[in-house]
Each structure stands twice: as structure tokens, then as C-alpha cells.
């Protein structure tokens, strides 16, 4: 049996940094600066901010007399870390035409060169290695954000630009919906501390689950169309009060990026406007829409603990960013539990709160996750724009319940 040698931290660094640039190779220079709404960021900002992260949390601390590429970038590319100084407002990132894209790439090169030198000098330094690991996981999160944000920005263009022509998978029909049963009992969830995890994933702890059933696959576009066509968006009884307010306020009639033309449904994808694939998982729905669908179907959303307990021993395999089709697809495998990982982030019904005994990282990096633990909902499993090596069963993604630009879908659960 051959064993694959784990990558060195230098190789990991090079590969992750390279992939961010690979993702945007087909963009034109004009595409890098647009910010269509306050909650998205220009591609150029993401490329600079991920670079700032290595500069601020590693180079500035561990390289004596570190020479900044440009000291003003410390203000410009800090996202939200109050502890390390002031920052430029998020909603104004699209107004920043300088530094140019070329200067931003030169900034990346400067920091990469400094990081390369530091890593060769301090090879094996455990503190630096763990900070680099956080920096790379952070950059992977931003790779997903880059794709989410390009899609959102492109969606306002009537020409429906394409980032990349879709790689078509072996298309299959969605298997019939069925439910797997899990017995009641005390189970353990959360990260046990072996290997990388964000601070919000631990500690591993006991929790009690009542008996429950979980669907064998996420809800499909075809099924969601039935909800739409049976008046799902017009009947307050299916909706949480805050969700119903959003339906009226935002005039929601279908998931984000959908449109109907002559009785046919289309959606905007990173490969342009496409006919909707009825067998693929529905994507770009808010928590409110997922919850309303579940009520309409006589079911409910799973808790994050139910989801994790059911999925933790499954193979971490699926349709991820590296497949480069950037859209959930109908490639089913025939396994009893389909698409646990990849394709769509799955909304749970669980509020994003700390686990019992949870401790945020010390210092500025404690701001990474902990300060967002109010009014957000946990999503599990990763999506078709999540890097493959980024996801784990314990991973807790989180968004506000009305957000729809992330690649979010859901699967149903029910009580026994
Ligand atoms: Fe960030």
C-alpha cells in the first residue's frame, strides 16, 4: 500500500495562495472592483485582505524590522478586527480603485516572498505553523466568498457574464426521497482537537438526541418548484414571522438568481443563465425559505447535532470547488445518504451559539468567530464552492437567516 506523504506547510501555503489566483484567471480587470451590495466585496479586496492576514498576524510579529509593501494597506484591508486598529468601512470597498489590480498582485507577491523566507528560517516552529494554518483556512474561506461575490456582482449584468463554462457531471435522476432513522441517546459532537479546526467547533461534548429521521438527500429544484407553484410564497401560515416580513419586504417569489420565462424556470450561474436542473439540490435559499418549505412538506429542519451525528462517519467526499462547475448538480452516487458533503451548505434549525466549555482563541484572532454568536444560524456540510480540504463533519458555518447569496440548500428531518 502506498501512503501519501502529507504536504509541508510551505507546499500548503504555495498551493492555497495559487488557487485564489487561479479562480480569477478569467476575470477582466473591470470585474475586480465591483461591489453590488454592502454584504459582498470586490474580488480585488479579497485578494488583498487574505494577504493582509498573513502580514498582520505573522510577518509583522515574527520578522524583525518587517518592511511593509504599503503601510496604508493595514487600514484598507483589515476586515473587522477591532483589536488591531481601525478599518475601512465594508460598504465602501467598491469605491477603492487604488491600489490597482496589478499593485494588489504585487502586494501578494511581496508577502509571499517574505512568508517563504520566514518559513524556511523557522521550519518546524509550532506557533508559526499553526498561525499559517489559520491563514490558509482563512484564505480558503475567502476563495468561497470570491465565488459567491463574483456571482452576486455578475447577476446584475443583463449580459449574464460567465466566469467559467460549466463542467457537466454524469447527470442522474435524484433518488426518491426517503428517511433514515436514528435512535435516541447521548451522543458526542464537536471537534476533539486532533488536526485543524476553528475555535467554534470545540470542545467535543455530550448531547442528548431524541429519536429522529433525516432525509437521504437535499431538497431538489423540482421539489421546490412544487412549493412555489402551490402558493408557498403566498401563504403566511408556512412562514416564521420574520421570514414572512422578508417575503413582503423583498417581494420574494423564488430563490435568489431564479427567473421564469414563458413557463420555464432559469437560474443565473457562474456559467451564465441556464435552464434549471430539476434533479439538482435547490440552492440560494434563506433559512426562512428552507423552514417554510419544511412546514409546507409537514417536516422540519434538522438540528446541527442531528446532522453531525448522522454524517460524521461518512466519507468526506462530494462535489467541491476543485470540480470547477460552481453549481450544485444532479450527480448522485447511489449511497443511502447522498450529498452530505459538497453541493450545498445545509441549513439547520440551530442558532449559532458557543458549545459548552468553548473558548475562543486568545488575542485578536478571538474576534474571528466568537463575536458573531448572535442572530445567526448554523449550516453544515460545505458546498460546490467550498475547497475540498476545508470541510469537516464538525465545521460550523453561519449566516443571518435572511441571507441567500451563499450556496445554501437544506435537507428535511422529522420526529419519530
Ligand atoms: Fe477575512
Distance 142 CA to ligand 1 centre (A): 7
- What distance in angstroms lies between residue 356's CA and the mean position of ligand 1's atoms? 26
CA–CA dist 407, 52 (Å, integer):
26
CA of 51 to the centre of ligand 1 (A): 10
The alpha carbon of 168 and the centre of ligand 1 are apart by a number of angstroms equal to 31
Ligand 1 midpoint to CA 50 (Å): 6
What tens digit of pLDDT does each residue of 69-101 get?
A: 999 999 999 998 888 889 999 999 999 999 999
3-state class of 121 per DSSP?
helix
122: CA distance to ligand 1 center in Å?
Answer: 25
Ligand 1 centroid to Cα of residue 364, in Å, is: 13
Q: How far apart are the CA of 145 and the centre of ligand 1, in A? A: 9
CA 416 – ligand 1 centroid, Å: 41
Ligand 1 centre to CA of 16 (Å) is: 15
User: What is the rounded distance in angstroms from the CA atom of residue 101 to the CA atom of residue 45?
Assistant: 9
Instruction: Residue count of the chain, please give it.
Output: 416
Q: How far is the CA of 33 from the centre of ligand 1 (A)?
A: 17
- Which helix or strand (DSSP H or E) is residue 152 part of? helix 126-154
Residue 57 CA to residue 400 CA, distance in Å, equals 28
What distance in angstroms lies between residue 174's CA and the mean position of ligand 1's atoms?
36
Distance 263 CA to ligand 1 centre (A): 41
The pTM (predicted TM-score) of the whole model is 0.97
Q: How far is the CA of 240 from the centre of ligand 1 (A)?
A: 31
How far is the centre of ligand 1, averaged over its atoms, from the C-alpha of 199 (Å)?
Answer: 15
Q: Calculate how far, in angstroms, residue 1's C-alpha sits from the geometric centre of ligand 1.
A: 40
User: What CATH class does 179-415 carry?
Assistant: alpha beta
Q: What is the pLDDT along the chain (416 residues), one digit of tens a residue?
A: 556 677 899 999 999 999 999 999 999 999 999 999 999 999 999 999 999 999 999 999 999 999 999 999 999 999 988 888 899 999 999 999 999 999 999 999 999 999 999 999 998 899 999 999 999 999 999 999 999 999 999 999 999 999 998 766 667 899 999 999 999 999 999 999 999 999 999 999 999 999 999 999 999 999 999 999 999 999 999 999 999 999 999 999 999 999 999 999 999 999 999 999 999 999 999 999 999 999 999 999 999 999 999 999 999 999 999 999 999 999 999 999 999 999 999 999 999 999 999 999 988 888 888 899 999 999 999 999 999 999 999 999 999 999 999 999 999 999 99
Question: Ligand 1: distance of its center to the CA of 368 in Å?
Answer: 8
Q: What is the pLDDT of residue 165?
A: 86
CB of 213 within 8 A of CB of 413? yes
Residue 73 Cα to ligand 1 middle (Å): 14
Q: What is the DSSP letter of 143?
A: H
Between CA 280 and CA 175 the distance in angstroms is 11
Sorted by sequence, the CB contacts under 8 Å of residue 226 that are 6+ apart come out as none
Tell me, in angstroms, the distance from the centre of ligand 1 to residue 393's CA. Answer: 22
DSSP letters, 293-358, are HHHHTT-BPPPHHHHHHHHTTS-S-EE-GGG---S--------SS--SEESSEEEEEEE--PPTT-
Centre of ligand 1 to C-alpha 349, Å, is 25
Contact of 246 with 236, CB cutoff 8 Å = no
CB 267 within 8 A of CB 274: yes
Q: What is d(CA 305, CA 311) in angstroms, rounded to the nearest whole number?
A: 10
- Expressed in angstroms and rounded, the spacing between residue 171 Cα and the centre of ligand 1 is 35
Q: How far is the CA of 77 from the centre of ligand 1 (A)?
A: 9
CB contact set of 376 (below 8 Å; sequence gap of 6+): 351, 352, 398, 399, 400, 401
Q: Give the Cα separation of 347 and 344 in Å (integer).
A: 9
Distance of alpha carbon 327 from alpha carbon 330, whole angstroms: 10
CA–CA separation, 291 vs 243, rounded Å? Answer: 9
Contacts of 246 (CB under 8 A, 6+ apart): 252, 286, 288, 402
The label of the residue with cell 444560524 reads 377
The alpha carbon of 296 and the centre of ligand 1 are apart by a number of angstroms equal to 37
262 CA distance to ligand 1 middle (Å) = 42
Question: Based on the number of CB atoms within 10 Å of its own CB, is 97 exposed (0-12), middle (13-18) or buried (19 or more)?
Answer: exposed
Residue 52 C-alpha to ligand 1 middle, in angstroms?
A: 9
- DSSP element (H, E) containing 266: strand 264-269
Residue 312 Cα to ligand 1 midpoint, Å, equals 27
Distance 80 CA to ligand 1 centre (A): 8
Angle CA 277–283–287, to nearest 5: 150
Query: What's the CA gap between 225 and 405, in Å, rounded?
Result: 19
What are 259's strand-pairing partners?
266
Return the exposure string of 294-325: e unless at least 16 CB atoms fall within 10 Å of the residue's CB, then b. Answer: bbbbebebbbbbbbbbbbeeeebebbbbebbb
SS3 270: strand
Residue 131 CB coordination number (10 Å): 18
- Phi, psi torsion values for 340, nearest 5 degrees: -60, -40
In a 3-state reduction of DSSP, which class is residue 215? strand
Residue 407's nearest CA partner among 270, 279, 252, 293 is: 270
Amino acid at each position: 500500500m502506498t501512503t501519501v506523504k502529507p504536504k509541508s506547510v510551505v507546499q500548503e501555503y504555495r498551493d492555497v495562495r495559487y488557487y485564489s489566483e487561479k479562480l480569477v484567471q478569467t476575470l477582466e480587470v473591470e470585474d475586480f472592483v465591483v461591489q453590488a451590495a454592502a454584504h459582498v466585496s470586490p474580488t480585488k479586496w479579497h485578494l488583498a485582505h487574505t494577504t493582509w492576514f498573513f502580514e498582520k498576524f505573522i510577518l509583522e510579529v515574527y520578522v524583525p524590522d518587517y518592511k511593509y509593501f504599503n503601510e496604508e494597506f493595514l487600514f484598507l484591508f483589515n476586515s473587522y478586527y477591532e483589536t488591531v486598529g481601525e478599518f475601512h468601512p465594508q460598504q465602501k470597498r467598491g469605491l477603492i480603485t487604488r491600489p490597482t489590480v496589478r499593485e494588489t498582485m504585487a502586494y501578494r507577491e511581496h508577502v509571499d516572498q517574505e512568508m517563504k523566507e520566514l518559513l524556511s528560517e523557522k521550519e518546524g516552529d509550532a506557533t508559526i505553523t499553526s498561525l499559517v494554518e489559520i491563514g490558509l483556512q482563512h484564505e480558503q474561506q475567502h476563495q468561497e466568498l470570491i465565488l459567491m461575490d463574483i456571482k452576486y456582482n455578475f447577476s446584475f449584468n443583463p449580459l449574464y457574464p460567465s466566469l467559467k463554462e460549466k463542467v457537466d457531471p454524469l447527470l442522474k435522476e435524484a433518488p426518491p426521497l426517503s428517511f433514515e432513522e436514528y435512535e435516541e441517546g447521548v451522543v458526542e459532537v464537536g471537534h476533539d482537537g486532533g488536526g485543524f479546526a476553528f475555535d467554534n467547533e470545540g470542545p467535543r461534548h455530550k448531547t442528548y438526541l431524541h429519536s429522529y429521521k433525516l432525509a437521504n438527500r437535499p431538497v431538489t429544484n423540482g421539489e421546490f418548484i412544487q412549493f412555489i407553484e402551490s402558493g408557498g410564497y403566498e401563504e403566511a401560515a408556512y412562514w416564521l414571522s420574520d421570514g414572512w416580513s422578508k417575503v413582503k419586504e423583498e417581494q420574494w417569489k423564488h430563490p435568489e438568481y431564479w427567473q421564469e420565462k414563458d413557463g420555464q424556470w432559469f437560474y443565473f450561474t457562474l456559467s451564465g443563465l441556464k435552464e434549471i436542473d430539476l434533479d439538482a439540490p435547490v440552492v440560494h435559499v434563506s433559512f426562512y425559505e428552507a423552514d417554510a418549505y419544511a412546514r409546507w412538506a409537514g417536516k422540519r429542519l434538522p438540528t446541527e447535532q442531528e446532522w453531525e451525528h448522522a454524517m460524521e462517519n461518512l466519507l468526506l467526499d462530494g462535489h467541491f470547488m476543485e470540480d470547477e462547475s460552481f453549481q450544485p448538480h444532479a450527480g448522485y452516487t447511489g449511497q443511502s445518504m447522498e450529498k452530505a458533503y459538497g453541493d450545498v451548505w445545509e441549513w439547520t434549525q440551530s442558532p449559532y451559539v458557543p458549545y459548552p466549555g468553548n473558548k475562543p482563541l486568545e488575542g485578536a484572532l478571538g474576534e474571528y468567530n466568537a463575536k458573531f454568536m448572535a442572530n445567526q444560524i448554523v449550516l453544515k456540510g460545505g458546498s460546490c464552492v467550498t475547497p475540498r480540504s476545508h470541510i469537516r463533519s464538525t465545521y460550523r458555518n453561519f449566516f443571518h437567516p435572511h441571507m441567500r447569496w451563499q450556496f445554501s440548500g437544506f435537507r428535511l428531518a422529522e420526529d419519530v
